[in-house]
Structure 1
Amino acid sequence: MPAIKDVAQRAGVSVATVSRVLNDHPAVRTDTRDKVLAAVADLGYRPNAVARSLRTHQTRALGLVISDVLNPFFTELARSVEDAARDRGYSVVIGNADERPDLQDHHVRTLVDRRIDGLLVSPTDGGSPLMLDAARTGTPMVFVDRWIEGEGLDEVPVVRTDGGAAVRDLVAHLHALGHRRLAIIAGPAATTTGRERVDAFRSALREFGLALPADHIGQGDFQADSGRRVTARFLDLPHPPEAIFAADNLMALGAMDEIRSRGLRVPDDVALAAFDDIPWFVHTDPPITAIAQPTGDLGHAAVGALIDRIEGRPAASVTLSARLVPRRSCGEPEGSTP
């Protein structure tokens, strides 16, 4: 395997000059750079990434810890992060926390030990001492989708979606369709997204003069089984809800399974809507009304903020907007929606 000294000899320059070219140093003449790159191509030379990281104190690798890789939202988010990072010359190492704080800590520890240049995290809960220590001791970090608060975390940018307006649009949509008894399958109260979506739903109901009784709030965990379990409880009530809003896509699918298992139909017997649109919602019967996040934009904005932090530039938090995508699972007229 050719070494850097072989490239230097072929190009007729010093090893130091080859190193400057490979590290994109601006103080290299164009003709010298061309000679070095030609020698690299001729010899098939590949720089030693480990050695380079020791010299430059950079690995050109980002860590991404996501809450659940089986959740289509996070799968799409991971892909957009990888695409954005690759465009900027970085690779991505992904850890799946599976909504478990202990696995989250394992991945944070492993990624920091591997000397990643920066860390993107969508926390599974209110945070952990390990993650807080990583942020406070100088690891460049950005929270994406979810975030945690605490002393020493004020400088950590948050890249997220504000779904409040879209949830209000959904409640207005349900109200216009004649639904008055509404219920929500909430996400974990320990997560910022879990709390925000319940608060937005309650506020929108209040605006339209609708109540949200305690038995119309069900605690889920962003997994399909919890959506099915909470829906079963809703349907067993003396006066079941006319419409169910699931605070994520997997819980919505669990809800639909429970509704169908009882021989009931969506939307004839109960309407169903979801937060976090996914591509196959258009293929369910009926297609599911959902709130869509700009997932690709989230990933690109998060990578941009993290690289700004890595390279010593100011990095601001970014808040994007979700939007309502009406289909036919809430009783919309046939052919009137996408």
Structure 2
Amino acid sequence: MDKHTIYHIAERVGVSPSTVSRALSGRGYCGPKTKSKILAAAEEMNYAPNSAGKALKMKQTNKILFAVPDICNPFYFDMINGINQVLEEYGYLMILFYTKHSLKEELKAIQNVKEKVADGMIMVSFDFGEDNICAINALQAPVVLTNKYVSPAGRDRFDYVYVDTYEGIVLGTEHLIRQGISRIGYIGGSLAEQTGHQRFCGYRDALTAAGLPFAERLVAESDYTEHGGYLAAQAMLRGADRPEGIVAANDLMAIGVMKACEEAGLRIPDDIAIVGMDNLDIASRVHPKLTSVALMQEEIGRQAAQVLMDRIRGVPRPPGEIKLLPRLVVRDSSRRHAAQRG
């Protein structure tokens, strides 16, 4: 059966389409008896409003775009939960856009917002730069980033809500140093990307501050996946000067590191201590339980969504950043006994 419209309801009740529209929308006057007949007819005919037509008329879609580089990483599940908690309060829906860690796909997401598929966007990227930032600044819609980015020329037209992952890696590295570990390896993302470089700098600077030497052989670039962490750790553990501890830039890679250590016959934390970052639920379910840096991903999602909804609704708020601080959660994978620390 064809979908019923307000014209069908008007014909059934014997009123004008504009009267039906007023009754269904609750805007404008419609007598109580007439309204009751219209609502009864709408229910009987299983009427559903045309959301596309309503969006065109109201110039609003009641949707936001959430662009993420990896739909398999549980980190983003928590962020989605935080975003949805806010969107539900405003009757908004989320469109998930998988950018595949690709600038080309990020630009497609931005184009979708430009074409008014959604009223605004929250975007996660490992590498904000001139291309995607220029496209975002050209939009006539609000955007919230989950990385800090400030254009050289200023005048940015977006907000950002982020956690300081540089400081997160500093916390993880310093924790191993306090355990008496001096030969510490690091497995992170691409050093050519904004996020990968920032996290690497946290590791390097923590070593420097402690007066420890930096060894290039103990640094590996990977892809934030469990398999990537596993392969990087395998290569790092082959040398005679293998590390006594490893800091991984996320929990998935850290779990891959644990697998490589197990296959190499190394005991965790007795032979090698391991720290991850993200504090995913799985960190407390692996054996030994994984020490990790909590990045407040659900809170990032919640606050990013609130900023975005305020912008969409025209609620005044100061421009700029919301910065969240990471927190070290110590578990068995890095705890060493006093005798081991020397």
Short-chain TM bin: 0.7 to 0.9
Shift of 1:153: 6.2
Residue number in structure 2 paired with 1:331: 335
| Structure 1 position 48 matched with structure 2 position 50 | yes
Gaps of 5+ in 2: 338-342
CA contact (8 A) 2:164 2:324 kept: yes
SS where residue 236 of structure 2 aligns? Answer: helix
Report the Cα distance in structure 1 between the residues aligned to 2:129 and 2:165, rounded to whole angstroms: 22
Residue 178 to residue 328, structure 1, CA distance change in 2 (3 Å)? same
1:101-145 CA distances to partner (integer Å, 9 max, x unpaired)? 233333433454352111111124234636632431313211124
SS where residue 97 of structure 2 aligns? Answer: strand
Shift of 1:223: 2.5
Residue number in structure 1 paired with 2:275: 273
SS where residue 95 of structure 2 aligns? Answer: strand
The number of equivalent residue pairs is: 332
Residue 124 to residue 176, structure 1, CA distance change in 2 (3 Å)? closer
SS where residue 175 of structure 2 aligns? Answer: helix
Residue number in structure 2 paired with 1:336: none
Residue 107 to residue 137, structure 1, CA distance change in 2 (3 Å)? closer
Residue 12 to residue 223, structure 1, CA distance change in 2 (3 Å)? same
CA contact (8 A) 1:11 1:35 kept: no
Report the Cα distance in structure 1 between the residues aligned to 2:313 and 2:72, rounded to whole angstroms: 32
1:26-78 CA distances to partner (integer Å, 9 max, x unpaired)? x779979x959955556543211011011011111111110101111123212
CA contact (8 A) 1:126 1:148 kept: no
Residue number in structure 2 paired with 1:181: 183
SS where residue 272 of structure 1 aligns? Answer: strand
Residue 36 to residue 72, structure 1, CA distance change in 2 (3 Å)? farther
1:166-213 CA distances to partner (integer Å, 9 max, x unpaired)? 444433422232211112112223443322222222232333332322
Shift of 1:292: 1.0
CA contact (8 A) 1:97 1:124 kept: no
1:275-305 CA distances to partner (integer Å, 9 max, x unpaired)? 1111111111101000112111111111111
Residue number in structure 2 paired with 1:115: 117
Pick from 72, 92, 95: which aligns with 1:93?
Answer: 95
Aligned amino acid, residue 160 of structure 2: V
Shift of 1:18: 5.9
Aligned amino acid, residue 172 of structure 2: L
Residue number in structure 2 paired with 1:199: 201
Shift of 1:241: 1.4
Q: 1:107-256 alignment to 2 at 5 Å?
A: 107-110=109-112, 112-113=114-115, 115-127=117-129, 129=131, 132-145=134-147, 147=149, 149=151, 151=153, 154-256=156-258
Residue number in structure 2 paired with 1:287: 289
Pick from 299, 315, 321: which aligns with 2:325?
Answer: 321
Report the Cα distance in structure 1 between the residues aligned to 2:70 and 2:142, rounded to whole angstroms: 22
Identity of matched residues, %: 26
CA contact (8 A) 1:136 1:153 kept: no
Gaps of 5+ in 1: 334-338
Residue 202 to residue 124, structure 1, CA distance change in 2 (3 Å)? closer
Shift of 1:10: 9.0
Instruction: Output the TM-score relative to the length of structure 1.
Output: 0.84
Report the Cα distance in structure 2 between the residues aligned to 1:293 and 1:30, rounded to whole angstroms: 55
Residue 88 to residue 28, structure 1, CA distance change in 2 (3 Å)? farther
SS where residue 121 of structure 2 aligns? Answer: strand
| Structure 1 position 76 matched with structure 2 position 75 | no
CA contact (8 A) 2:107 2:135 kept: no
Residue 203 to residue 9, structure 1, CA distance change in 2 (3 Å)? farther
Aligned amino acid, residue 327 of structure 1: R
1:301-336 CA distances to partner (integer Å, 9 max, x unpaired)? 111111222223345421112211100001346xxx
Report the Cα distance in structure 1 between the residues aligned to 2:37 and 2:197, rounded to whole angstroms: 56
CA contact (8 A) 1:62 1:117 kept: yes
Deviates more, 1:147-156 or 1:108-117: 147-156
SS where residue 203 of structure 1 aligns? Answer: helix
Residue number in structure 1 paired with 2:302: 300
Instruction: Output the TM-score relative to the length of structure 2.
Output: 0.83
Larger radius of gyration: 2
Report the Cα distance in structure 2 between the residues aligned to 1:30 and 1:264, rounded to whole angstroms: 79
Residue 268 to residue 75, structure 1, CA distance change in 2 (3 Å)? same
SS where residue 160 of structure 1 aligns? Answer: strand
